[in-house]
A and B are shown apart, each in its own frame.
Chain A
Amino acid sequence: MRAARLRSLPCIVGIALAAQGVSARGLPSQAANQPSVLRLATTTSTADTGLLGALLPDFEKQCACRVDVIAVGTGQALELGRRGDVDVLLVHAPEQEAAFVAEGHAARRYDVMYNDFVIVGPGGDPAGVKSASTANEAFRRVAAAAAPFASRGDKSGTHTKELAIWKSAGTWPGAAGAAGPGWYLSIGQGMGESLTFANEKQAYALTDRATWLSMQARLPNLGLLFGGASIAANPDRDLRNQYGVIPLSQARHTSVNGPLAQRFANWLLAKPTQQRIAAFGRDRYGQSLFCADSDDDKSTGVVRVR
């Protein structure tokens, strides 16, 4: 009797451990039916807005699947796509996305939504960015004043935009590869860390509005100097931050879940989801964090390379 009970102990322990290992995402449990998994690679700034947390449960219910969100830098997200380690990308770097599609990893990219970048900096504004009329001019003034500027320096969507503005302003702080002048601080980190750094150094920085809004309270030394009080009020259309969704092609990577990825893209572009995107953030920040692409014009999926 005692031996039998002892033998059943490992069984009980094993079952307990297995039960603990079962996912607790609240999906309807189907006996012996593993929900399929969609792997979505996105950027850290996108994930940090909380948008995906708010939207995804609806998709998971519709397709009876689970979406694993892997939030990394833009460059890493694209690399994950190139290796076929994920099924779909949601990033905001149109030029890099176009190159990605041209390489053959996906059939096409789709415009999903956009928000904008703003320039933040020390409250005293030594460079006089506040009175600039365009982002180019603001950057030129920072360079002229040799005021500290914190750059992401990590080939992210934000960094790519920052480099584009420097280029069009004609005052690039240093040749590509060469160390910039002393006031240009390229730290190679994410948006949150870069803003924290800028706060400590009382430096200027380019940031997406969503990250700024969510971190504002913790950045007492910085203020929004250029970009308007909301996306609609941004005077410079060059600061638009366009998001694209790219379902990977199964032809190129056989292990990719092509049909589910396409289904995800379709759901993301459908009217109900787009409306939810356009409304996201209003209750918390008093303004929407994104503009759905279906607001301005029908999403044609045309690659808009700026």
Chain B
Amino acid sequence: MIDNILRALGDPALMAVVSLTLRVTGSALLIATALGVPIGALVGLSRFPGRRLVTLVLYTGMGLPPVVVGLVVYVLLSRSGPFGPLGWLFTPSAMVAAQTIIAFPLVAALTMSAVDGVDQDLRLQVRALGATRWQTGWTVLREARIGVTASIVAAFGGIISEVGAVMLVGGNIEGHTRVLTTAIVLSTRQGDFALAMALGLVLLLLALGANAALLQLQGRSR
């Protein structure tokens, strides 16, 4: 097992694969967070007709199969599709787009429920002290920051481990759109289970490192 791990680590292509994995997942997470936290907080704090429907849609979105998302994004980005002229298909841009779609419902829905769980009294208290709507919202969000961080962590876990979407819209092109999950599928397909497991270990270590960093950030803010 050790020499398989060393074989995987010694492969010069591994650096490119790891780097692309982090870039694609990192970008998608960034966009999904920038969109998902405000929208989730807004839905969590407001009461409006159709709120239950929005909640239902977000919750269902959390269970979207990545391969289905990949298929839909593929058809949209295909040269014979509506967004073909963008030229994103089989490039990391398409992979970021697909993973953003997968990550967004996770961030939004879990932020929404975290915000919803904050004690109503806090909101009343802060309003009584003269806070504006924005200040109230920000205070509630800060109070719910553990749940919000958890939503980001959940989204990260969801997209760094998915393979269906990036395989379809990226094409697993060596040197350009190959990430850790698609590399694992390739090794498995070729029967090289040992290499596949070693790559899987690298992926887990990456996830471990990223989550440790996120926890650090959360800890410092307390």
- B161-187 vs A: 1/0 string, CB under 8 Å? 000000000011111100000000000
Q: Is A219 an interface residue (CB 8 A)?
A: yes
- On B, residues with C-beta under 8 Å from A are 16, 19, 23, 78-81, 84, 89-90, 171-176, 188-192
Distance between Cα atoms of A68 and B172 in the complex (Å)? 10
Which of B90, B173, B191 is in CB contact (< 8 Å) with A215? B191
Q: Which residues of A contact B175 (CB under 8 A)?
A: 23-25
- By the criterion CB–CB under 8 Å, are A193 and B189 in contact? yes
Residue of B at shortest CB range from A70? Answer: B171
User: A20-B19, A70-B171 are contacts. A83–B79 as well, Cβ < 8 Å?
Assistant: yes
Chain A nearest Cβ from B222, distance in angstroms? 27
Distance between Cα atoms of A193 and B89 in the complex (Å)? 27
Which of A23, A39, A218, A255 is in CB contact (< 8 Å) with B84? A255
Distance between Cα atoms of A72 and B173 in the complex (Å)? 11
Distance between Cα atoms of A83 and B189 in the complex (Å)? 26
- By the criterion CB–CB under 8 Å, are B191 and A39 in contact? no
- By the criterion CB–CB under 8 Å, are A83 and B171 in contact? no
- By the criterion CB–CB under 8 Å, are B189 and A218 in contact? no
- By the criterion CB–CB under 8 Å, are A192 and B191 in contact? yes
Distance between Cα atoms of A223 and B88 in the complex (Å)? 45
- By the criterion CB–CB under 8 Å, are B191 and A219 in contact? yes
Q: Which residues of A contact B191 (CB under 8 A)?
A: 192-193, 195-196, 215, 218-219
Given contacts A23-B175, A255-B79, 12 further A-B contacts (CB under 8 A): A20-B19, A21-B23, A24-B175, A48-B190, A68-B173, A83-B79, A85-B80, A85-B89, A192-B190, A193-B188, A193-B189, A218-B191
Selected A-B contacts with CB under 8 Å, 22 pairs: A21-B23, A23-B176, A39-B90, A48-B190, A68-B171, A69-B173, A69-B174, A72-B171, A83-B79, A83-B81, A85-B80, A85-B90, A192-B189, A192-B191, A193-B189, A196-B191, A218-B191, A219-B191, A253-B79, A255-B79, A255-B84, A256-B79
- By the criterion CB–CB under 8 Å, are B79 and A84 in contact? yes
Distance between Cα atoms of A291 and B49 in the complex (Å)? 69
Which of A193, A218, A253 is in CB contact (< 8 Å) with B80? A253
Among B23, B78, B176, B189, max chain A CB count under 10 A is at B189
Q: Is A94 an interface residue (CB 8 A)?
A: no
Q: Which residues of A contact B188 (CB under 8 A)?
A: 193
Q: Is A44 an interface residue (CB 8 A)?
A: yes
Q: Is A213 an interface residue (CB 8 A)?
A: no
User: A193-B189, A215-B191, A218-B192 are contacts. A68–B84 as well, Cβ < 8 Å?
Assistant: no
Q: Which residues of B contact A83 (CB under 8 A)?
A: 78-81
Residue of A at shortest CB range from B173? Answer: A68
Which of A23, A44, A253 is in CB contact (< 8 Å) with B189? A44
Which of B19, B23, B90, B190 is in CB contact (< 8 Å) with A68? B90
Q: Is A190 an interface residue (CB 8 A)?
A: yes
Q: Is A71 an interface residue (CB 8 A)?
A: yes
Chain B nearest Cβ from A19, distance in angstroms? 12
Chain B nearest Cβ from A195, distance in angstroms? 7
Q: Which residues of A contact B80 (CB under 8 A)?
A: 83-85, 253
Distance between Cα atoms of A218 and B19 in the complex (Å)? 30
Distance between Cα atoms of A255 and B83 in the complex (Å)? 13
Residue of A at shortest CB range from B81? Answer: A83
Among B80, B84, B176, B191, max chain A CB count under 10 A is at B191
Which of A70, A85, A196 is in CB contact (< 8 Å) with B79? A85
Distance between Cα atoms of A25 and B176 in the complex (Å)? 10
- A11-31 vs B: 1/0 string, CB under 8 Å? 000000000110111000000
Distance between Cα atoms of A218 and B84 in the complex (Å)? 42
Q: Which residues of B contact A255 (CB under 8 A)?
A: 79, 84
- By the criterion CB–CB under 8 Å, are B90 and A190 in contact? no
Chain B nearest Cβ from A44, distance in angstroms? 7
Chain B nearest Cβ from A24, distance in angstroms? 7
Distance between Cα atoms of A36 and B171 in the complex (Å)? 18
